[in-house]
Amino acid sequence: MDFALTPAQAAFRNDVRAFIQERLPQDIRKRMRAGHPARKQDVVLFQRILNERGWAAPHWPRKYGGAELGQVERLILVDELFRAPAPMPSIFNVVMLGPLLMKFGTPEQCDHFLPKLANLDLWFCQGFSEPGAGSDLAALRTSARREGDHYVVNGQKIWTSTAHYADWAFCLVRTGQAARKQDGISFLLVDLRLPGIRIRPIVSIDGAHSLNEVFFDEVKVPVEHLVGEEGRGWDCAKFLLGNERTGIANVGLCRERLDFARELARTLTQNGRPLIDDAGLRAELAVLDAEIRALEITNWRLLLAPETSLGGAAFASVLKLKGTEIQQEVVALVARLAGPAALERRASDSAGSEHWAAPLAPRYLQSRAASIYGGASEIQKDILAKAALG
Ligand SMILES: Cc1cc2nc3c(=O)[nH]c(=O)nc-3n(C[C@H](O)[C@H](O)[C@H](O)COP(=O)(O)OP(=O)(O)OC[C@H]3O[C@@H](n4cnc5c(N)ncnc54)[C@H](O)[C@@H]3O)c2cc1C
C-alpha cells in the first residue's frame, strides 16, 4: 500500500512490522500460515501483547486502553496483522461492543467493561441471529420482561460464534411489542454463566466447532446490563452493524493467501516442473493480484473520502461484497493447487505430524461462510441497487 503512505505512515508500518516480527510467537505464525484458524489461546495471548501498545483497540481513546490511531494507521495495522499472519484482536470486543458502549453506555459501563474488552479479560460473543431472524434481524423473538431490578430472558439465539468459550454475550432482545418490529428491541449484556443458559454446539461443514445455539430459560439479567434506552436497541444494532469500514474488505487477508498460493505454486511440481511454469496459472495469479490491488485502492478511497456519490454505507457494501468474492477465489485457488492432497487428513510422518495440506480443504469450506455472515451478499447487492437506482 506504499502508494499513499506519508513518511510518518511508512515509519508506523515499519514499527508495526518490527513489533510483530519480535513479539508474535513463531508457532502461532506457522500454524496460521499453514491455513489454520487462530485458537482461543492464540487470540488471547496476542491481543494482550498488542494491548501493551494500545494496538488491541487502536482507535479507542487512551483512557480506555486504545492508541487513538486514525483510520489510515488502523488500516495499516490490520493489514500487517493479516499479512504476518497473526491473530486479530476480537472483533466482538474491540470493533463492535467497545465503540457501542462509548456511544450508548453509561460511564459506569464504560469504566467497568472497556479495559477488560481491550485486554480480552472478558471474551464477548454476539447474540443477534435467531431461527427466523437473520437477514431480517428485526424479526427476533427472544423476550426480556422486566421484573424489579432484573430482566427475565427467554428464547433462543443461533449461529453464535465462540459462545462455547465466551464469558459474556451482547444480545438483542424484545422488551415490548410495537407496530414497527424495529421498536421494542433492547440491547442487553448477558453473563453466560447465569443459571438458565444452555449452549449447544453446531459443527460446520469444515468439521470445526465455532458456532452454537444458545438457549435462555428464565435467565435473570440485572437491569444495569441494559445498554442505551429500553426499546431503543435497534439504534444500537444499526450503529454496530454500520460503523465498521476499516477492515471490512479483508485486503490483508487476501494478500496473505495470495502470497501463500504463489509460494505453493513455486514449490509444488507436476511432471517434474513447478506449477508456476504454467502460463495459465501465472495469468490467474496476476488477475487476482490486480483485483486485490483494486480492492485496496477502493478501501483507501472510502477511508480518505467517505462522502462518495454512492454514499458511505453503500460503498462499504462494495468492499464487503468484493472482498468476500476475492477471498473465496484465493482460498479456492490454494486448495486447488494442493490438488488431492487438500483432502488429506492423515498424519504425514511417523511422529504423527499433520499433513501440510490438511488445513486447506477446511479453510476453503469455511471461506464459503464469508458471503453469509456480516450481511449476506444478496443483502449487499440490495443495498447497492437501492443506492444506485434510488
Ligand atoms: C460462520 C458464521 C458465523 C456467524 N456468527 C454469528 C454470530 O456470532 N452472531 C450472530 O448473531 N449471528 C452470526 N451469524 C449469523 C449471520 O448473521 C446470519 O447467518 C446472516 O445474517 C443470514 O441470516 P440467515 O442465516 O438467517 O439466512 P436468511 O436471512 O434466511 O437468508 C437465506 C438466504 O436468503 C437470502 N435473502 C434473505 N433476505 C433477502 C433479501 N431481502 N433479498 C435477497 N436475498 C435475501 C440471503 O442472502 C441468503 O442467501 C453467523 C453466520 C455464519 C455463517
Q: Is the pLDDT of residue 245 over 60?
A: no
100-143: pLDDT as tens digits: 999 999 999 999 999 999 999 999 999 999 999 999 999 999 99
194-218: pLDDT as tens digits: 999 999 999 999 999 999 999 999 9
Residue 292 contacts by C-beta under 8 Å, 6 or more apart in sequence? 251, 254, 255, 258, 326
DSSP characters over 178-220: -SSTTTTEEEEEEETTSTTEEEEEEE-TTS-EEEEEEEEEEEE
Question: CA angle, 25 as apex, 21 and 31 as ends, to 5°?
Answer: 105
* Residue written as grid cell 465462540: 162
* Separation of CA 277 and ligand 1 centre (Å): 41
Tell which atom from ligand 1 comes closest to the C-alpha of 136: 29
Top mutation candidate among 125, 129, 240, 244 for ligand 1, by most atoms within 8 Å of CB: 129
Closest CA to ligand 1's atom 23: 134
* Separation of CA 376 and ligand 1 centre (Å): 6
Ligand 1 pocket member 92 (CB < 6 A): no
Question: How many other C-beta atoms lie within 10 A of the C-beta of residue 50?
Answer: 29
Confidence band (pLDDT; 50, 70, 90) for 299? Answer: confident
Residue 312: per-residue pLDDT = 64
Question: How many other C-beta atoms lie within 10 A of the C-beta of residue 76?
Answer: 23
Locate all alpha helices (DSSP H) within the chain, ordered by sequence: 7-23, 26-34, 40-51, 71-83, 91, 98-104, 107-118, 233-242, 251-267, 279-304, 312-338, 360-367, 377-389
Top mutation candidate among 92, 158, 159, 164 for ligand 1, by most atoms within 8 Å of CB: 159
Distance (Å, whole) CA 343 – CA 174: 45
Please, are residues 314 and 383 in contact by the beta-carbon 8 Å criterion?
yes
pTM strictly above 0.85: yes
Ligand 1 pocket member 165 (CB < 6 A): no
State the distance between the two ends of the chain, measured CA to CA, in whole angstroms: 34
* Separation of CA 375 and ligand 1 centre (Å): 7
Top mutation candidate among 90, 97, 135 for ligand 1, by most atoms within 8 Å of CB: 135
State which amino acid sits at residue 128: F
* Residue written as grid cell 508457532: 27
Residue 301: per-residue pLDDT = 83
Residue 244: per-residue pLDDT = 61
Ligand 1 pocket member 128 (CB < 6 A): yes
Ligand 1 pocket member 344 (CB < 6 A): no
Which position has the higher pLDDT, 328 or 305? 328
What percent of the chain is modeled with pLDDT above 70?
95
Ligand 1 pocket member 208 (CB < 6 A): no
Whether the link from the prior residue into 306 is cis, omega within 30° of 0, is no
Please, are residues 339 and 303 in contact by the beta-carbon 8 Å criterion?
no
Domains of the chain: residue spans and CATH? 2-89 (1.10.540.10), 124-232 (2.40.110.10), 245-389 (1.20.140.10)
* Separation of CA 236 and ligand 1 centre (Å): 19
* Separation of CA 76 and ligand 1 centre (Å): 30
Q: Is the pLDDT of residue 311 over 80?
A: no
Least confident of 33-37, 100-104, 240-244, 293-297: 240-244
Ligand 1 pocket member 161 (CB < 6 A): yes
- Report the DSSP pairing between strands 185-191 and 168-174: antiparallel
Please, are residues 230 and 306 in contact by the beta-carbon 8 Å criterion?
no
Closest CA to ligand 1's atom 35: 378
Ligand 1 pocket member 332 (CB < 6 A): no
